[in-house]
Amino acid sequence: MGQVLTSLIDAREGMAVTAGIDLNTKSENYPVFNSLQDFNGKADVIIDFSHPDTISGYLPEAVKRKLPVVIATTGLSDKIITMINEASEKIPVFISANMSLGINLLQQLISKAAMVLGNEFEVEIVEKHHKMKKDSPSGTALMLADSINKVKGNKFRKVCGREGTDCLRQSDEIGIHAVRGGTIVGEHDVYFTGTDEVIKIGHIAYSRNVFATGAIAAAEFLYKCKPGIYDMQDLISSSV
């Protein structure tokens, strides 16, 4: 993702990569440091596509420097979420389980569908990713499920996969199923299944460019924001 971000940012006017933070990678285009603490230069926004474990290392330093942060990392623990919420009182923090503008439009569409269809349709979500993805189900699938559940009054529970001889579907379930293999960048399909009909709304990412493009748009948006928590819905609303 660092390479993709670098390529796309280099092609934009008025934007440049000041530095990279990475333990194992170097770049010919800008200096790369082991930590944010090692970086003595100036920057306007941090974009993080790394790993949840790294957030606790750089977030206090970002707060100290008043640096807005775009967090595009999934699998966040309750402890990290609490840390992010505390940081957002002092700096703007943009956080999304998926930085694709298309996925976030999908989020709006399925919320509308859930409102219209009511409880007469069951909801199942199928997500597909490459074989190297560690967390399951994907943060995006959980985000989509939460969007539907919010519309339905938070009365539903997420059921991740099914196995056994007594798996009769219950009326309060949102099923989530994960596929892992090959080099799949990301696919998400939401099924609304009713009597004699099925509505399927989905999104396919063919390259990581869609995530980088969204993160860059988020950084540009966040640079002008006051302290607080922001997400893709805020970004989409600001551009309407």
State the catalytic residues: 129, 133
Cβ–Cβ under 8 Å, residues 61 and 38: no
Query: What single letter denotes the amino acid at residue 180?
Result: R
CA angle 238, 220, 67 (to 5 degrees): 115
**Backbone phi, then psi, for 24, in 5-degree steps?**
-120, -10
In angstroms, the CA 114 to CA 148 distance is 6
Is residue 49 exposed (0-12), middle (13-18) or buried (19+ Cβ within 10 Å)? Answer: middle
Lateral strand order in the sheet of 157-160 = 157-160, 173-180, 122-129, 186-194, 197-205
Q: Map tokens 């219950």 to a residue.
A: 170
Q: Does a cis peptide bond (omega within 30 degrees of 0) precede residue 92? A: no
CA distances from 139 to 74, 108, 165, 176, 210 (A): 5, 16, 28, 11, 16
